[in-house]
Structure 1
Amino acid sequence: MKNVVEVQPNDGKLAILIPGLGAVATTLIAGVDAILAGRNAPVGSYAEMGHLPTADGERVRVKEAVPLASLEDVVFGGWDIYEGNAYQAARRAKVLSNEDLSACQEALERVKPMPAVFDHEYVKNIDGPNVKSAKSKWDLAESIVADIKGFMDANGCDRAVGVWCASTERYIEPGPVHQTVSAFENGLKENHPDISPAMIYAYAFVKSGVPLANGAPNLALDIPAIVEFAKREGVAIAGKDFKTGQTLMKTMISPGLAARMIGVEGWYSTNILGNTDGAVLDDPGSFKTKEVSKLSVIESILEPELYPELYGNITHRVRIDYYPPRGDNKEGWDNIDIFGWMNYPMQIKINFLCRDSILAAPVALDLALFMDLAQRAGMSGVQDWLSFYFKSPQRNGDVMPPHDLFKQQEDLFVTLREISSRSSVKAPKIASAS
């Protein structure tokens, strides 16, 4: 670590600010309320439930090893293109049961969306009335900066962190406007068409000194201008695209195949999804963004350049179909054509009937808590140690993070141990099972 400084305390309130108060965000808010009320355990959250292996083979609770923000101190806010509060948004998303919605209705109704930055050219298949208007994209960024400050002041928050939970934007390649901070700022002022809403939010968060994690495959935090800006301003950033359903399975299974030197000839993946995310991805431009994110996993883990006999000719296909009857209950189906000794063929079939937002909500929570921790630990720029949570981990300079879930987990452990060594928190050790 370059910044060897003492970790700042976790005193005061933490604002978790979310662009996109849809299915994932409202499920997160409802889940935190259920945890605080004692109705549910924080299942799926490593930050809340996990233990950290120590260098000498023992374990401590993560919450006791590093000074994470307490859920009691969290205040939620955000932006959305729809005007209704988070309770209305949660009912529209149809993720949670009526019983659960009734139990957390008060907590959800407190969260009312600020007008969003939105451009129909970047997200085709949805629209809403709660949208900012301004003369320039620079003015839109300034409006978000004002929103962040206003929310923190109104709610007595000492710190803030952002987690992007809004829709997948259409695919775009980096251009000249994305290369430097000055070029990007000029582009904002000149309404450059290659600056997307997600990039406007990214700029505004960094300008506000607020760390941001990108839960979608949008090209927002990745561009050189934002990376440079984050380093200059001392702000932590991390992305991209929450790793939840099918890709989570791939990063678990691929390392096992590679460890046993089992060959892979083809991997076909298809998904059916009926929520807003599915509707957005029904547009070819947005699907292209998601496809690029999902396709990068297999080849990175199996390393065909090292094992051409095993993985040199893989056919990898990814499909996503919008199927409204399924709602948020996504189904990911994989057919894996493998081969073994003497090239005899075999197959693996996976049918993962998952709940998209139920898997994503604890990921969003962990990222919020760990990004706040990173900011207080003086860790600016790309937080590649959080690649554990992303489909398409963000490159940190010349370093490309691994896709292997278990290597990513070890990177997470290593960094948390390092932060713990700089923290005044002293946790009791828990002996490992014999």
Structure 2
Amino acid sequence: MLAKDLKRKEDIETPRGKLGVLIPGIGGAVATTFMAGVEAVRRGLAEPIGSLTQMGTIRLGKRDEYRTPRIKDFVPLASPDDLVFAGWDIYEANGYEAALFAKVLRREHLEPIRDFLETVQPMKAVFDRRFVKNLDGNHVKSGSSLRDLTEAVKEDIAQFKQAHGIDRCVMIWCGSTEVYLKPEEPHQSLDAFLKAVQNNDPRISPSMIYALAALESGIPYINGAPNLTVDIPAMVTLAKEKKVPIAGKDFKTGQTLMKTILAPGLKARMLGLEGWYSTNILGNRDGLVLDDKDSFKTKEESKLSVLEYILQPQLYPSLYKNYYHKVTINYYPPRGDNKEGWDCIDIFGWMGYPMQIKVDFQCRDSILAAPLCLDLVLFADLAQRIGMYGIQEWLSFYFKSPMHREGLYPEHDLFIQLMKLKNTLRYFMGEEQITHFGLDYYMNDLS
């Protein structure tokens, strides 16, 4: 895909009709908070706080004629009014019942939109307990092969589109973290992957079945968990063949968000790092899943990768070569969705004198993730209409472990990520880019 082949400004299709939002894990805390928030915004009961697409601005023009329109007024994005939700879950609870169970939103915020949430009825899920050991629901599809399950998901999508008059769709994974997988032979090529699906290979996870169904249906796929799903050569090849955008992985919300804000500051001031200890307490369903060591391993890999890429110890060995980095997550049911992340950061400055930074981020996991879901759905739909396909590196801003093309390093610095995202939008709308970091940051994504 070359930049010259993509649509620009007047050629970008105006979003028309309904945009289907397909959510594996639709009964979870993130998904129900996302849907409830969108409906509250549509009814004028809330503001879309945390959403870059809805509240963010973008600087345009030369120094003497700056303009700062809202992003939603600058780029032809779908409106939240256009979204229609559907999805799959291993539990039968409707959207209202699931939101009550999640205990993220208070009842007084759910009651005014209860009629909407009760219409969200999950479809039977693709589920294999080998991949999520601490959950066990009975609202599950049956099939003689993984290919049968893939076709069943594709049929669900087709029926949803027909029943609701859906013009186009985006699939976003809001399900649980699966056990840790390394890329193996079935993941290395599309032929090997499709053969593995046909042969019920145990290295093909449920999230991969959803992604396969989405891509074969021409639907963009967003990976909100650290699962090895589309971050494999087979899926990248399929996305390119079907000309479909893919993005991921693992929503960047609490503690890792803080790291991508603080670490660039340490590096900018050339302050050294001796150690960074991070621990979390979390009591929602995500915390329960991560109480299994194999699922935690998947999350740990995602969270540990951030500092190395931001600090670049190979360039600054005296500052960052030997720092110690530790991450733990502890399941603590009384805390529910109100996650608490503690960071003890040991740094050193002039003449090697030690200093410390202490961070106690008492956040709400799903409250931080919900606006990311909205932005990613709208941006993935935009990418599809522009003609972008394959890995969407310009959406790295939203992820702990951003997908990137082979041979390139992932970008983790939150501020560079934001520049890349906005420069991509500027390019498509025919506006002058902000070149603090150079045009290469844009062209690397599209060439």
TM-score (norm 1): 0.96
Among 220, 223, 226, the residue aligned to 1:214 = 223
1:428 aligned residue = none
> Residue in 2 aligned with 1:44?
50
Query: Residue 5 of structure 2 aligns to which amino acid in structure 1?
Result: N
Match in the other structure for 1:32? 38
Moved more, 351-360 or 146-155: 146-155
Which residue is 1:224 aligned to?
Answer: 233
Distance (Å, rounded) in 1 between the aligned partners of 2:278 and 2:67: 39
Amino acid at match of 1:308: P
- Name the structure 1 match of 2:113: 104
* Contact 2:274 2:324 (8 Å CA) reproduced: yes
Contact 2:248–2:396 (Cα < 8 Å) also in 1: yes
Q: Deviations over 1:271-306 (max 9, x none)?
A: 000000000000000000000000000111011000
**1:332 paired to 2:341:** yes
CA positional deviation for 1:421: 2.6
Q: Among residues 14, 20, 25, which one is paired with 2:25 in the alignment?
A: 20
Q: Hey, what's the Cα distance between the residues in 2 that align with 1:269 and 1:3?
A: 44
Q: Give how far 1:2 is off.
A: 4.8
Structure 1 residue 7: deviation in Å?
1.6
Matched, 1:278 2:283: no
Amino acid at match of 1:174: P
Segment drifting more, 83-92 vs 54-63 = 54-63
2:75 is equivalent to residue 66 of structure 1: yes
1:16-415 mapped onto 2 (5 Å cutoff): 16-21=21-26, 22-56=28-62, 57-415=66-424
RMSD: 1.0
Question: Matched residue of 1:168: which SS?
Answer: coil
Residue 53 of structure 1 deviates from its aligned partner by 1.6
Other-structure match for 1:11: 16
In structure 2, C-alpha distance between the alignment counterparts of 1:311 and 1:2, rounded to whole Å: 40
Q: Secondary structure at the match of 2:429?
A: helix
In the TM superposition, residue 52 of structure 1 has moved relative to its aligned partner by 1.2
Over residues 29-73 of structure 1, what are the superposed CA-to-partner deviations in whole Å (9 max), with x where a residue is unaligned?
110111111111100000011111225243221111111001111
Aligned with 1:52: secondary structure? coil
Alignment check: 8 A CA contact 2:281 2:341 kept? yes
CA–CA separation in structure 1 for the residues paired with 2:112 and 2:229 = 36
* CA distances 1:5-40 after superposition (whole Å, capped 9, x unpaired): 232220000001100011000001110111111111
Alignment match, 2:425 = 416
Counterpart of 2:436? none
TM-score in terms of structure 2 length? 0.93
Give, in whole Å, the separation in 1 of the partners of 2:103 and 2:360.
22
Distance between the aligned counterparts of 1:398 and 1:166, measured in 2? 30
Judge which range, 49-58 or 82-91, deviates more: 49-58
> Residue 29 of structure 1 contacts residue 107 of structure 1 at CA under 8 Å; is this kept in 2?
no
Say whether the 8 Å CA contact 2:177–2:286 is kept in structure 1. yes
Question: Is residue 19–residue 164 contact of structure 1 (8 Å, CA) maintained in 2?
Answer: yes
SS in 2 for 1:172: coil
Unmatched segments (≥5 aa) in structure 2: 432-447
Q: Which runs of no fewer than 5 residues in structure 1 stay unpaired?
A: 423-434
Tell me the number of residue pairs that the alignment of Structure 1 and Structure 2 aligns.
422
Which residue matches 1:425? Answer: none
Equivalence for 1:431: none
- Contact 2:347/2:354 (CA < 8 Å) preserved in 1? yes
**Identity across the alignment (%):** 59
The alpha-carbon deviation at position 3 of structure 1 amounts to 2.8
Give yes or no for contact 2:180–2:298 (8 Å, CA) kept in 1.
Answer: yes
- Distance in 2 (alpha carbons) for counterparts of 1:417 and 1:60: 12
Paired with 2:280 and 2:4, the residues of 1 have a C-alpha distance of 42
- Deviating 4+ runs (over 6 angstroms): none
Cα displacement (A) at 1:237: 0.3
- SS of alignment partner, residue 69 of structure 2: strand
